[in-house]
Chain A
Amino acid sequence: MSISLLLLVVAVIGVAGYMVGSWRANALAGGRLSNLHSRPGYYGSFVAIWAMLPAIVVLLVWIVASPIYISSTVRAGFPEEVKATSQAEQNLGYNMIGAIARGMAMLSAEEREALFKDGTTARSLLATKGVPLAADPAPYMLKSADDLSRMSRASSTFLSILVVLAAAVGAFFSYRAIAPRFRARNRVEGVMLVGLIAASSIAILTTVGIVASMATEAIHFFNRVPAWEFFFGTVWDPRFAAAGSTDSSGQFGLIPLLAGTLYIGLVAMLVAVPVGLFAAIYMSEYASRHVRSVAKPLLEVLAGIPTIVYGFFALVTVGPFLRDLSEQLNGLVTGDYSNFIQAQSVLTAGFVMGIMLIPYVSSLSDDIITAVPRAMRDGSLGLGATRSETIKRVILPAALPGIVGALLMTASRAVGETMIVVLAAGVAARIQLNPFEPMTTVTVKIVSQLTGDLEFTSPQTLVAFALGITLFFITLCLNIYALYIVRKYREQYE
């Protein structure tokens, strides 16, 4: 039976269990539902759960475990000379055996016999069944493939029996357990609670997954390239070896990428912080309700626009505009019409990213500023302060810790932003101070190292995970610290 059919069977048993269970509960109640501990539906659900849950667990375990078992058994049957070859070669062979086994399943009995008599026909024969082989199979492969297909079939049959049995046994015993005073609802709710807990654990699992997966790949990378060369290297040149370097795979210096990331982030913050902060102040302290109800959502539209759109805007509008502008300026001043701002530059990427960050700064600071109690404003206004004096001398100092937290969160966005810099910052990894020149960032390099053909063994690919985990920790620290500050700040006014 195929897996989907098996699932269907289990579901049918479950539904049947539900119906039988509720029916039996009704019968036991004898017309008076108050005789029962729980409503009949709970007895039905109880039976259904015990019919389906164990069966599905068995199914999942089997799906994971059986290929591993079969693979190790088949490989154990490989001839000695094959076992002596490298792991990668054996993997290749095993993949081919898998393909042959798939093809064999479609052959008629005569064709199979013909195939075993003359292995050289395998490739052409299987091709007619739509299973292309990369090369003629080695003789041992046919036998292994035969083993494999036999075992897979056995495994499938066995699984079907086991699952149906588990479902039936579960249904039977849970049905037997039904009695008027049986606390079916509590049991069902217990299972539901476990489900809820499992769902919330996914958050933890995701973090564990992020750290574990990136750490594993990053460790592979650090086995090839020393950690200090990565963290303190000032040259990023993953493709070619530098003269005199003993490592032939290139140089993986993080510093130029980090410099670019921070520089572009700085430019972005220089745009976003004053604009966002003043916008937030105006919204929360000056704007009439009418203006606020129009301007606030409009500004927040900026946060809803996908970053790829900002990237495109930077690439085709802002970048060329700045380039042409610099051309004209240069021409007016020196008479030499050559541009001093590159289309892809720190300025372009930073500026556009700054626009993207405006709504983050403004809505976060707006929340913080409105959290300052009204009594502070009244106290200051009651002494005869103007609004701006109240804001500058009372509200902002009171809100400062919260605003710093908000800015740190915004900074972590700037550091992790990808699409704008991919399109607008350039790919040249270098350390320099001219904002009119292109620089590159950690995220740009993650993308460029991982698009295209991948080989999970080369440092050129693995370096992306080292970059990723660096990025993850930078943003993590920024965020935890920011959350801590903001939480402290909120407690102060609660």
Chain B
Amino acid sequence: MSQVSTSPTTAALGAASKPERRDIGLRGRYAAERRFRLYGMAAIAFGLIFLFLLLFSVVSKGYTAFQQSMITIPVEFSEQIIDKDNERATNPQKLVSANYPVVARNALAKVLGVGEDDRAGLRAVNGMISDSVRTQLRDLVTANPSIIGTTQTVTFLAHGDLDSAFKGQIDLAVPENNRKISDKQIGWMNQLAESGALSKHFNTGIFLNGASSRPEAAGVAVAAVGSLYMMLIVLVLALPIGVAASIYLEEFAPKNRFTDLIEVNINNLAAVPSIVYGLLGLAVFVNFAGFPRSASLVGGLVLTLMTLPTIIIATRSALKAVPPSIRSAALGLGASKMQTVFHHVLPLAMPGILTGTIIGLAHALGETAPLLLIGMVAFVADIPSTPLEPATALPVQIYMWANEAERAFVERTSGAIILLLVFLILMNVGAILLRRRFERRW
């Protein structure tokens, strides 16, 4: 045995019964392990915290946009002011151009007990009423001229600053000179609120109105209709073209230089900055082909080109996921290649294609930069009735409002963002449901 243990080859045998424990630095290594793990968790927490902050910031600033302060008071449609010389029978223009804001101002001044000769007071009263009262009263009077001379109870929009103050968004600790609303107006506001003349209503205007320079009267209707037109155009063009292109590339294309070029091209187009598509649209559709600027048609075409690569990439992976056995089965029964694809492969790939399309559409819906370049950043007050008329888009509306200085516009902007996000969430939930419902595993 002693011979054996001296041999290097068998040295291990002697020690075999109980090997010595080695120090392999476990303590330090586990500390490093924990640190590393912690970094990972911190990274995810960082991302999630900012997701939460972003949403919180938008929602907390924006949920009030769905409420609007309104003033409900008796308004005397004084003939003195509207049509002093009683010429409305001969000159209908008279009723259109009458000084309606004064009508409203006087009504409010009366409620608040401000004398007719208190100039400063009247100006302050005027500052509490939205300018949109002009069109509102005008429409009332032109629709029914007989109300002239009577007193009617009318509900009209409060001025944006009053609206902000009433919602508690104006810091009253700031010196009076530095804020948009005076102490006197605040006093009146409280007085009106107590009497019930000033109250918050659900804001239908934000859904129904077009652009306005006054935050309290501004709405997203034009933008929403513009976005809707564009989404329809993208859907009608990008889905069939994208599916056709993918079918060719995936099922028919021979492997050659040309198809390789298309491949690389599509991958690159998916990564081209969106603003470049805007330049393309401006140069080709507006400048060269002479399509109208600011029209949703041009926006739709630009977004189509932008969305196509996304749809093609999604469609191709959906087609790839259909197992070759399905194709062989159909071909084996004597179906032509085209029949195989359209009767068997395409229906099976459809859920994947639609999911990809919805995600592409959602991206297009949130896209802003290219639309700015083709002039969709315009002041459009009337809802466009065709895609050829000037329109804006939801994200562009957000951009335009974000550039406005007034506090009330911040609220509107956030409100519009909430709407946009709701649309996006609905689309994505739709895509997820579609995937859950039809997902097939081979």
A interface list, Cβ under 8 A from B: 185-186, 189, 192-193, 195-197, 199-204, 206-207, 209-210, 213-214, 216-217, 274-279, 281-283, 285-286, 295, 298-299, 301-302, 304-313, 315-317, 355, 358-359, 362, 384, 386-389, 391-392, 409, 412-413, 415-419, 422-423, 443, 446-447, 450-451, 454, 456, 464-465, 468, 471-472, 475-476, 479-480, 483
CA of A314 to CA of B395 in the docked complex: distance in angstroms? 16
Beyond A304-B363, A312-B417, 6 additional pairs, beta carbon < 8 A: A189-B337, A200-B245, A210-B277, A302-B51, A355-B54, A423-B399
CA of A388 to CA of B269 in the docked complex: distance in angstroms? 38
Q: Are B373 and A447 in contact (CB under 8 A)?
A: yes
Q: Are B283 and A388 in contact (CB under 8 A)?
A: no
What are the residues of chain B within 8 A of A274 when measuring CB–CB?
43
Q: Are B266 and A203 in contact (CB under 8 A)?
A: yes
Distance (Å) between the CB of B303 and the closest chain A CB? 13
Q: Are B273 and A416 in contact (CB under 8 A)?
A: yes
What are the residues of chain A within 8 A of B284 when measuring CB–CB?
209, 213
Cβ-neighbour of A311 out of B287, B402, B428 (below 8 A): B402
The size class of the interface chain B forms with chain A is 35 or more
What are the residues of chain A within 8 A of B414 when measuring CB–CB?
312
Q: Are B33 and A388 in contact (CB under 8 A)?
A: yes
Known contacts A279-B40, A306-B424, A312-B413, A213 near B280 by CB under 8 Å: yes
Interface residues of B in 378-395 (CB under 8 A from A): 395
Q: Are A418 and B369 in contact (CB under 8 A)?
A: yes
Q: Are B276 and A468 in contact (CB under 8 A)?
A: yes
Q: Are A465 and B241 in contact (CB under 8 A)?
A: no
Q: Are B421 and A299 in contact (CB under 8 A)?
A: no
Cβ-neighbour of A391 out of B36, B268, B365 (below 8 A): B36
Q: Are B287 and A456 in contact (CB under 8 A)?
A: yes
Query: Chain B, 189-231, contact with A by CB distance < 8 Å: what is the 0/1 string?
Result: 0000000000000000000000000000000000000000000
Distance (Å) between the CB of B263 and the closest chain A CB? 9
Distance (Å) between the CB of B308 and the closest chain A CB? 7
Q: Are A476 and B268 in contact (CB under 8 A)?
A: yes
CA of A359 to CA of B236 in the docked complex: distance in angstroms? 30
Distance (Å) between the CB of A478 and the closest chain B CB? 8
Q: Are A305 and B421 in contact (CB under 8 A)?
A: yes
What are the residues of chain A within 8 A of B58 when measuring CB–CB?
309, 312-313
CA of A416 to CA of B375 in the docked complex: distance in angstroms? 20
For B41, the closest partner residue in chain A by CB is: A282
Does B235 lie at the interface of the complex (its beta carbon under 8 Å from any beta carbon of A)?
A: no
Cβ-neighbour of A185 out of B35, B46, B336 (below 8 A): B336
Cβ-neighbour of A450 out of B39, B248, B266, B282 (below 8 A): B282
B interface list, Cβ under 8 A from A: 24, 29-30, 32-33, 35-37, 39-44, 46-48, 50-51, 53-54, 57-58, 61, 240-242, 244-245, 247-249, 252-253, 261-262, 264-269, 271-280, 282-284, 287-288, 305, 308-309, 312, 336-338, 362-363, 365-369, 372-373, 375, 377, 395, 398-399, 402-403, 410, 413-414, 417, 420-421, 424, 428
Q: Are A308 and B48 in contact (CB under 8 A)?
A: no
Q: Are A451 and B245 in contact (CB under 8 A)?
A: no
Q: Are B271 and A412 in contact (CB under 8 A)?
A: yes
Q: Are B46 and A464 in contact (CB under 8 A)?
A: no
What are the residues of chain A within 8 A of B265 when measuring CB–CB?
203-204, 207
For B367, the closest partner residue in chain A by CB is: A306
What are the residues of chain A within 8 A of B40 when measuring CB–CB?
278-279, 281-282, 285-286
For B270, the closest partner residue in chain A by CB is: A479
CA of A218 to CA of B200 in the docked complex: distance in angstroms? 54
For A475, the closest partner residue in chain B by CB is: B273
Distance (Å) between the CB of A296 and the closest chain B CB? 9
Pairs A–B under 8 Å by Cβ, sample size 30: A186-B336, A199-B248, A202-B241, A214-B276, A214-B280, A214-B283, A279-B47, A299-B48, A307-B369, A308-B366, A309-B366, A309-B398, A312-B414, A313-B58, A316-B61, A316-B413, A317-B57, A358-B47, A386-B33, A388-B36, A389-B29, A409-B271, A412-B273, A416-B273, A422-B399, A423-B402, A446-B279, A451-B377, A468-B276, A471-B275
Distance (Å) between the CB of B94 and the closest chain A CB? 24
What are the residues of chain A within 8 A of B372 when measuring CB–CB?
447, 450-451
Distance (Å) between the CB of A229 and the closest chain B CB? 21
For A423, the closest partner residue in chain B by CB is: B402
Q: Are B48 and A199 in contact (CB under 8 A)?
A: no
What are the residues of chain B within 8 A of A195 when measuring CB–CB?
244
Q: Are A200 and B421 in contact (CB under 8 A)?
A: no
For B261, the closest partner residue in chain A by CB is: A204
CA of A404 to CA of B420 in the docked complex: distance in angstroms? 34
CA of A387 to CA of B39 in the docked complex: distance in angstroms? 14
Known contacts A203-B245, A418-B275, A465-B283, A316 near B44 by CB under 8 Å: no
Cβ-neighbour of B275 out of A199, A281, A286, A443 (below 8 A): A443
CA of A373 to CA of B38 in the docked complex: distance in angstroms? 25
CA of A279 to CA of B32 in the docked complex: distance in angstroms? 17
CA of A196 to CA of B424 in the docked complex: distance in angstroms? 31
Q: Are B37 and A286 in contact (CB under 8 A)?
A: yes
User: Would you call the interface of chain A mostly helix, strand, loop, or mixed?
Assistant: helix
For A307, the closest partner residue in chain B by CB is: B368
What are the residues of chain B within 8 A of A386 when measuring CB–CB?
29-30, 32-33
For A199, the closest partner residue in chain B by CB is: B244
For B410, the closest partner residue in chain A by CB is: A316
Q: Are B368 and A199 in contact (CB under 8 A)?
A: no
The list of the 4 closest CB pairs from A to B, nearest first, reads: A416-B273, A282-B40, A306-B366, A199-B244
Distance (Å) between the CB of A448 and the closest chain B CB? 10
Known contacts A308-B395, A417-B273, A192 near B61 by CB under 8 Å: no
What are the residues of chain A within 8 A of B48 when measuring CB–CB?
295, 298-299
Cβ-neighbour of A203 out of B46, B277, B309, B365 (below 8 A): B309
What are the residues of chain A within 8 A of B36 when measuring CB–CB?
387-388, 391-392
What are the residues of chain A within 8 A of B253 when measuring CB–CB?
200
Distance (Å) between the CB of A214 and the closest chain B CB? 6
For B42, the closest partner residue in chain A by CB is: A278
Q: Are A315 and B402 in contact (CB under 8 A)?
A: yes
Q: Are B267 and A479 in contact (CB under 8 A)?
A: yes
Q: Are B54 and A310 in contact (CB under 8 A)?
A: yes
Distance (Å) between the CB of A477 and the closest chain B CB? 10
Distance (Å) between the CB of B26 and the closest chain A CB? 9
What are the residues of chain A within 8 A of B29 when measuring CB–CB?
386, 389
Q: Are B424 and A304 in contact (CB under 8 A)?
A: yes
Residue among B39, B61, B312 with most chain A CB within 10 A: B39
Q: Are B57 and A316 in contact (CB under 8 A)?
A: yes
What are the residues of chain B within 8 A of A185 when measuring CB–CB?
336
What are the residues of chain B within 8 A of A389 when measuring CB–CB?
29, 32-33
CA of A260 to CA of B103 in the docked complex: distance in angstroms? 54
What are the residues of chain B within 8 A of A283 when measuring CB–CB?
44
What are the residues of chain A within 8 A of B375 when measuring CB–CB?
451, 454
Distance (Å) between the CB of A272 and the closest chain B CB? 10
Q: Are A200 and B46 in contact (CB under 8 A)?
A: no
Q: Are B43 and A279 in contact (CB under 8 A)?
A: yes
CA of A376 to CA of B252 in the docked complex: distance in angstroms? 38
What are the residues of chain B within 8 A of A209 when measuring CB–CB?
280, 284
What are the residues of chain B within 8 A of A299 when measuring CB–CB?
44, 47-48, 51
What are the residues of chain A within 8 A of B308 when measuring CB–CB?
202-203, 206
What are the residues of chain A within 8 A of B39 when measuring CB–CB?
278
Q: Are A309 and B279 in contact (CB under 8 A)?
A: no
Q: Are B280 and A200 in contact (CB under 8 A)?
A: no
Cβ-neighbour of B248 out of A200, A276, A417, A475 (below 8 A): A200
Known contacts A312-B58, A313-B57, A305 near B366 by CB under 8 Å: yes
What are the residues of chain A within 8 A of B278 when measuring CB–CB?
450
Distance (Å) between the CB of A187 and the closest chain B CB? 12
What are the residues of chain A within 8 A of B54 when measuring CB–CB?
305, 309-310, 313, 317, 355
What are the residues of chain A within 8 A of B57 when measuring CB–CB?
313, 316-317
What are the residues of chain B within 8 A of A216 when measuring CB–CB?
283
CA of A160 to CA of B85 in the docked complex: distance in angstroms? 59
